Amino acid sequence: MTEDKRSPFLIESSDQLPRVTVLKRFPLPRKLGVGKESRIGKGKRWPLPATAAARVKTFEIYRYDPDSGDNPVIDIFEIDLDDCGPMVLDALIWIKNKVDPTLTFRRSCREGVCGSCAMNIDGTNWLACTRYIAETDGSATIYPLSNLRIIKDLVPDLTHMFAQYSLIEPWLHSKAPAPERERLQSPAERAELDGYYECILCFCCTSGCPSHWWNGDRFLGPAALLHAYRWLIDSRDEATGERLDDLEDPFRLYRCHTILNCTRTCPKGLNPGKAIAEIKKMIVERTG
Amino acid sequence: MKTIASRRRPLSPNIQIYRPQLTSVLSIVNRVTGVVLSAFAVFLVIWLSAAATGPQAFATVQSVIGSWIGQFLMIGGVFSFFMHLCGGIRHLFWDAGYGFHLRTIYASGWAVVIASFLLTGATWALSTYMAG
């Protein structure tokens, strides 16, 4: 990790940390609109295991134990930086191995490919495996992805988001009989998909989208719409019209108000906001 | 002890913890200024009705505008107008498919903020100059 020399005012890529935000959170009452079951209490402090650690870092982590019947809490963990890997995911694994084996989170590839360890780190959504501990606040705050029902600790229920993903039918539609060999694309046609096929479905964007917070039951959200666009522009797909018909809906597509939190937060540097704008354009263009 | 089945899963916090960013802040500002402008549209009707009613009614409304709080609200209204106007132009570019690079999003965002302050200041200076 090298020191970031880019302007803190002009964010050039989504990996740039927010350094000029005055407030860490919107000045709203913490309980405003929060259901009784979702209110967050104070948890316990887990001190460092008795060792002479020189570099100590604290993590404030959202905990929810479905078996206890208690509300979620924020636990504070101390970790020994000299004994721990460099990434936030390393810290979580360190805590699980050395402090509290019940700490629950999803992880798999540990290199930003699988999208399992998406969570809210210091107020923005990112993958724990590609965020350096050194980039976090003095006391790092770790919450699960925003606005999702929590199964345990940092594991949210993604059923609804995957249902929305399946709604856009993310596979090739073709009416013609199956060809003898693979369906060919020119390099230019293939290049159209660049920036849209790389999505790993971590749902950092959808769970960071205020429109999806308020209308997530019917608004498809940036992740599903980015995938919808990926199939709309695929030269081999023959269902463009039907796909647009399915999307042309006040809620499914048009609840996107171009807030662009999605583009700001994508850990793969993709641009869901641009994809959604292009879908809206396609719908306008076909009406002639 | 409540079992899993009897208890609703908690919803993870959203607006309570998500960090304010230029993207989301300008979005909410665009909405709030739109609401403010609707209120000022009502005030504009009152002002015009007063002008149509007669010199006395008009003088009353003018004195309200001229008061300390009236001046404060007028600046707020003018700022809301320019913020909403500039934000709207930014949205027009987006709707046409331009300006989606993250750097452009931030550049246009700050441009809207700076332009709104400058235009509000210019309007204020002009109106003060014209009022003598």
List B residues 66-95 in contact with A (Cβ-Cβ < 8 A): 91, 94-95
Q: What is the C-alpha to C-alpha distance for residues B103 and A54, in angstroms, rounded to an integer? A: 39
Q: Please state, in angstroms and as integers, the Cα–Cα distance from residue A51 to each residue in A30, A54, A95, B18, B92, following that order.
A: 37, 9, 14, 35, 59
Domain extents for chain B? Answer: 22-131
Token reading at A135: 């980039």
* B contact test, residue of A16, A20, A22, A26 with most B CBs within 10 A: A26
pLDDT at residue B80 in the model: 97
Q: What is the C-alpha to C-alpha distance for residues A176 and B10, in angstroms, rounded to an integer? A: 47
pLDDT at residue A276 in the model: 98
Q: Please state, in angstroms and as integers, the Cα–Cα distance from residue B101 to each residue in A1, A127, A255, A263, following that order.
A: 24, 21, 21, 9
The verdict on pTM exceeding 0.90 is: yes
* B contact test, residue of A12, A256, A264 with most B CBs within 10 A: A264
Q: Is residue B110 within 8 angstroms of chain A, CB to CB?
A: yes
CB contact under 8 A, A21 and B110: no
Q: Is residue B105 within 8 angstroms of chain A, CB to CB?
A: yes
Q: What is the C-alpha to C-alpha distance for residues A86 and A225, in angstroms, rounded to an integer? A: 34
DSSP characters for B34-97?
Answer: HHHHHHHHHHHHHHHHHHHH-HHHHHHHHHHHHSHHHHHHHHHHHHHHHHHHHHHHHHHHHHTT
- Enumerate the H helices of A65-128 as residue ranges: 88-98
Q: Sheet harboring A139-143: ordered strands across?
A: A41-46, A73-80, A56-63, A139-143, A118-121, A124-127
CB contact under 8 A, A150 and B11: yes
Distance to chain A for B88, nearest Cα, Å: 11
Question: A209-235 pLDDT, tens per residue?
Answer: 999 999 999 999 999 999 999 999 999
Residues of chain B found within 8 Å of residue A141, distances taken between Cβ atoms:
17
Q: Is residue A285 within 8 angstroms of chain B, CB to CB?
A: no
Whether A119 and A146 have beta carbons less than 8 Å apart is answered as no
Distance to chain B for A207, nearest Cα, Å: 8
Whether A95 and A75 have beta carbons less than 8 Å apart is answered as no
Q: Is residue B63 within 8 angstroms of chain A, CB to CB?
A: no
Least Cα distance to A77 among A94, A52, A65, A89 occurs for A94
Q: Is residue A171 within 8 angstroms of chain B, CB to CB?
A: no
Which chain B residue lies closest to A261 (C-alpha atoms)?
Answer: B23
Least Cα distance to A88 among A142, A148, A125 occurs for A142
Question: A226 vs A50, which has greater pLDDT?
Answer: A226
Question: B93-128 pLDDT, tens per residue?
Answer: 999 999 999 999 999 999 999 999 999 999 999 998
Question: A251-271 pLDDT, tens per residue?
Answer: 999 999 999 999 999 999 999
CB contact under 8 A, A21 and B100: no
Q: Is residue A6 within 8 angstroms of chain B, CB to CB?
A: no
Least Cα distance to A138 among A57, A232, A39 occurs for A57
Least Cα distance to B16 among A63, A146, A58, A261 occurs for A146
CB contact under 8 A, B94 and A11: no
Q: What residues pair up with A62 in beta bridges, in sequence order? A: A74
Question: A12-28 pLDDT, tens per residue?
Answer: 999 999 888 889 999 99
ipTM above 0.95, yes or no: no
Question: Which domains can be identified in chain A, with CATH numbers?
Answer: 36-155 (3.10.20.30), 159-287 (1.10.1060.10)
User: Which CATH code fits B22-131?
Assistant: 1.20.1300.10
List A residues 17-36 in contact with B (Cβ-Cβ < 8 A): 18, 21, 23-26, 28, 30, 32, 34-35
A138 CB-near residues (< 8 Å, 6+ apart): A58
Q: Band of the pLDDT at B2, cuts 50, 70, 90? A: low
Least Cα distance to A263 among B119, B99, B76, B8 occurs for B99
